[in-house]
Structure 1
Amino acid sequence: MSEIDSTSAALARIARGETSDPNLAGLSRRWRAGSGPEGATRGGGLVLVAERQTAGRGRLDRSWVSRPGAGLTVSLLIRPRTAVSRLGWLPMVVGTSLVSTVRAVAGVPAVLKWPNDVLIEGAKLAGILVEVVPVPLSAPSVVIGFGLNVNAEPDELPERSTSLLLSGARPAALNRTELLGLILEGLVGALAAWEADPQSARAAYLEVCATIGREVRVELPDGSADTGRATDVDPEGRLVVAGRAYSAGDIVHLR
């Protein structure tokens, strides 16, 4: 695994054709020519894996770091074959796929907290960030970034976080190279299924979303908060709490 920090930013520069980094220039040329390197997720896709992260950025611009070998820090650059209006579902498609792979490979009870935090028994295992990158004279590209705690120890993790190691995962799941291959394989299938039948994503997501049926607090970007029971995720991907649909906010599971 290579040591590349801020992978999402690097891929965004590639998509826009702005990179002058010699280590990324070759990837940029191949991307814009429409062919990805061996190991790309799908036609025209690129994958960057960071051995460590010193300038990670998650939802709501939260920063994070990781030591070498502690986890998987991955960014993928793709061109989805779907309408731009449907891209709001992409973070949840990615989350559903990641949960499915982690359950199958590691044997742990992973679930999602809306929209796409991966949890095990209430502790955060992985985070996902999806960003649309406008490309001049072309359909938009998308950068999918995720960080998954694999071998991290308690003193390396934020409060209420966990890792596969700490969750009692099967030993095979702690091999990061093999795990990454299985995650990417699952993601390829999930993206293809979503593109072929966008409506199927909602049903699959609801099966693994632990937020539904819970009393929650919705902490909104303006600093206010609402509470109530989460009852659904609507066709636009918004969380429905006490009859109101939310498209953004931090969700706290109350009980």
Structure 2
Amino acid sequence: MGFSLSPLAQQNGFRLEAFETVGSTNAVALERAQAGDAGKLWVVSKQQESGRGRRGRAWATSHGNLAASLLLVGHFELKTAATLGFVAGLSLADALDAVCPATGFKVGFDGAEKYEGGKSALRVELKWPNDLLADGAKLAGILLESTQLPDNRLAIVVGIGVNVAVYPDDVPYPATSLMKLGAECDAETLFLALSDAWEENSRIWGGGRGLAEIRKRWLARAAGIGSEVAVRVDGTVLRGIFETIDEDCRFVIRDNEGERIRIAAGDVHFGAVASASAE
């Protein structure tokens, strides 16, 4: 089966450009924007050779994984557009619920098992600001990029990478893949569900007007609430207990003195071992 959009995505005017292999789906989407594309374009591939993660880190995807980038063009405020990462996380989690409803493994940041029909259900958790975890290991990542267009419109690219078939073993954090976890799902099936789930979550988001509801839904699937956390921010490590994300989707921790600290950007590490590694 090749890549395809859901009927709802097609009905709402979204288009698809699919590759077997690509350098970077985000780079292609940004090129399309600079060439005058009107947006509502998904760029997808089963292999990405020179993708990027946060802070310029390499994010290549082996064959059989999913690299998907959504180009949106409009008169966005950058602060509002930045919250599309939370829409993307929820959409991917919903898509995984739809295509991997029951598999044979335990999941969850706390290692707890959840059973449905005699099998444990695939339940991913959302790690602020842009990762999805399964069984405490990274399953997917999200990267937002933007470029200002000559007519004062902003092009936003929402990049989503999922370890479907293969996961990297040369990274400083635990990683996993759907195949390793026992899920029977390929990149094409997952993308079809993702393109459908995006429609619902972006409708709720409504240009930022529904951010409160998106925040509520995100928190219901958040990893590590109430856990010890270390956050690296510009070379400094802040420690405390992860309490929530605030109305602007900033990460909120309470330090040892009881002070609440709001963090707009940083690398999050949960637990005592991960906190030590944040140094």
Report the TM-score when normalising by structure 2. Answer: 0.75
Residue of structure 2 equivalent to 1:38: none
Shift in CA distance, 165/227, structure 1 to aligned 2, threshold 3 Å: same
Distance 1:98-1:80 versus aligned 2 partners, 3 A rule: farther
How far 1:104 sits from its partner (Å)? Answer: 3.0
Which residue of structure 2 aligns with residue 54 of structure 1? Answer: 49
Determine the structure 1 residue equivalent to 2:166: 152
| One-letter amino acid of the structure 1 residue matched with residue 233 of structure 2 | L
Q: Which residue of 1 aligns with 2:146?
A: 132
What do the CA deviations read for 1:151-171 (whole angstroms, capped 9, x no partner)?
1167688751000111122x2
Q: In the superposition, relative to structure 1, how do residues 217 and 123 fare at CA in structure 2: closer, same or farther (>3 Å)? A: same
| % same residue | 33
Task: Report the Cα offset of residue 67 of structure 1.
Answer: 2.4
Report matched runs for 1:26-41 at 5 Å: 28=36, 31=37, 34=38
Does residue 234 (structure 1) correspond to residue 246 (structure 2)? The answer is yes
Letter of the 2:153 counterpart: A
TM-score normalized by structure 1?
0.82
Alpha-carbon distance in structure 1 between the residues aligned to 2:246 and 2:69:
28
| Aligned twin of 1:111 | 125
Cα distance change, pair 202–74 in 1 and its aligned pair in 2 (3 A): same
Aligned to 2:203: 192
CA distance in 1, matches of 2:40, 2:71: 5
Check whether the contact 1:88–1:237 (CA below 8 A) recurs between aligned residues: no
Cα distance change, pair 82–204 in 1 and its aligned pair in 2 (3 A): farther
CA distance in 1, matches of 2:33, 2:217: 30
Deviation readout 1:165-199 (Å, 9 max, x if unpaired): 11122x2xx23212211111101221111016232
Q: Determine the structure 2 residue equivalent to 1:72.
A: 66
CA distance in 1, matches of 2:24, 2:173: 23
**Pick aligned residue for 2:181 from 145, 167, 185:** 167
Secondary structure, counterpart of 1:55 in structure 2: coil
Is the partner of 1:229 in helix, strand or coil? Answer: strand
The secondary structure found in structure 2 opposite 1:54 is: coil
159 and 206 in structure 1: CA distance in 2 versus 1, 3 angstrom threshold: closer
Amino acid at match of 1:125: L
Partner of residue 24, structure 1: none
Instruction: Name the structure 2 match of 1:218.
Output: 231
Whether the 8 Å contact between 1:5 and 1:50 is mirrored in structure 2 is no
| Contact 2:139–2:178 under 8 Å retained in 1 | yes
After TM superposition, the structure 1 stretch with the greater mean CA deviation from structure 2, 80-89 or 181-190, is: 80-89
Q: What does residue 194 of structure 2 align with? A: 183
Q: Which amino acid aligns with 1:110?
A: V
Identify which of 116, 137, 154 aligns with 1:123: 137
Counterparts in 2 of 1:249 and 1:136: CA distance versus 1, 3 Å: same
**Aligned: 1:206 with 2:219:** yes
Is 1:94–2:88 an aligned residue pair?
A: yes
- How far the C-alpha of 1:144 sits from its partner, in A, is 0.7
Q: Which amino acid aligns with 1:252?
A: H
- Is residue 8 of structure 1 aligned with residue 26 of structure 2? yes
RMSD between aligned residues: 2.1
Contact 1:88 1:236 in 2 (8 A): no
Task: State the Cα distance separating 1:244 from its structure 2 match.
Answer: 0.4
Size of the aligned set, in residue pairs, is 227
Give the helix-richer structure, 1 or 2. Answer: 1
Question: Which residue does the alignment assign to 1:25?
Answer: none
Query: Structure 1 regions of 5+ residues with no counterpart?
Result: 18-27, 35-43
